[in-house]
Homo-oligomer: A and B are copies of this chain.
Amino acid sequence: MFEQLGLIGCGLMGGSFALALKNAGLVKRVVGYSKSPSTTERARKMGIIDIEAPSALLAVSGADIVLIAVPVAATEASFKAIKHLVTPDMLIMDVGSTKRDVVDAARRALREHVDLFVPAHPIAGKEVSGVEHSDPDLYVGKQVILTPTERTAAPQLQKAIEVWSRLGCNVQTMSPEQHDAAFASVSHLPHLIAFALMNAISGQPQGKEYLSLAGPGFRDFTRIAASEPKVWRDILLSNREELLAQSQLFQRSLQALEAMISSSDAQGLESLIEQASLTRAQWSMNSRNKS
C-alpha cells in the first residue's frame, strides 16, 4: 500500500503504528526521527524503523505516508520542520487526543499543503510509554476518529480510512469541533473534576482524616486524578474552549441538583437522580474501547 513511512516521534504510539504497518505488509521502509537520538537508535535496533533520520525534515524525504506522533504541544513545530519536503500525494496524519488545535496548527504551518493532512485520534494507549513498549497490536480492535476539514483532500481521507481499517480499527469520521466537544464531555471534563475534587478535599484542615474514611466508590471515582500532570496540562489547555463550555453545562446541572436539595424537593431530586442512574445503567462501553 505504501513505499515509505516517515515517522516523526518514535514513542509508544508511533512505534506501534510502524510495527503494525510492517506486520500487515502495508509499507516497505520506515524512516524514523525522534528528538532524542538514543530513542531513534533504539527504534532501529528493535526493528521498528529501518533508517534513522537526523531530522524531521529528512524523515519525510521520499515518504508517501507520514505519521506525526509527538506530544500535542509539539505538533506545530513538526509541521514547520517538514513542510519543505511535503509532496502532493503524501498522506500526513497525527495521533493527538485533541483536534481543533492540531488542525489550526496544520493550517498555519502547512499552508497550501494542509489538504494532505488527515487529523487522527486513535483511542488506544497503555499505562506505560516509550518505544520499548511498542506493540504491533496496540490499535487492533480500537476506535480511530478522523476529523477531516473542508480543506482535506478526498484521496488522502480515503487512504487514511483504508490504512486504519486494515490495521483492524473501527474508523469514525467527525468534525474537529464535534471530536473536541465529545472528548471534552466524556474524558477531559471528568479529569478536570477529579483533579478539582482531590484538591478540594486535601485543601481542608481535616482533609487527611476525611480521606482515611473513603471507600471503594471514592477509589473508582478518583482513579483518573492520578493521571500524568504534564500530559493533562497540555490536553486541558489544547481543548480549553470546549472543555470550559462542557464545564459550564456540568456546573448548571450540579446547581440544579443543589437547588432541589436546598428546597427539600424530594420528588424533583429523586427524578434527577433517576435520570442519571438510568443513563449510566443503560450505558455500556463500546467493546472496542475496553482494553
Contacts and interface: CB of A to CB of B under 8 A. Distances in A.
A273 B195 contact: yes
Given A199-B275, A225-B279, A237-B261, 8 more contacts: A145-B213, A196-B257, A199-B279, A200-B246, A200-B249, A201-B279, A217-B224, A233-B269
A178 interface: yes
Interface string A240-253: 10011011011111
Contact of A225 (B181, B206, B280): B280
A162 interface: no
Interface string A213-237: 1111111111111111110110011
A3 interface: no
Contacts of A277: 195, 198, 225-229
Nearest to A190: B221
A75 to B, nearest CB: 16
Closest 8 pairs between A and B when the two form their complex, measured CB to CB:
A186-B214, A200-B253, A198-B276, A196-B254, A195-B276, A225-B280, A229-B273, A226-B280
A67 interface: no
A193 B244 contact: no
A211 B283 contact: yes
Chain A interface size, under 10 / 10 to 19 / 20 to 34 / 35 or more:
35 or more
Interface of A: 123, 143, 145, 178, 181-183, 185-187, 189-204, 206-207, 209-230, 232-233, 236-237, 240, 243-244, 246-247, 249-254, 256-258, 261-262, 264, 266, 269-270, 272-277, 279-281, 283, 285-286, 289-290
B220 A223 contact: yes
Contacts of A283: 211, 214, 222
Nearest to A143: B213
B290 A216 contact: yes
A183 B185 CA distance: 27
Given A221-B220, A277-B227, A182 B202 contact: no
A77 to B, nearest CB: 16
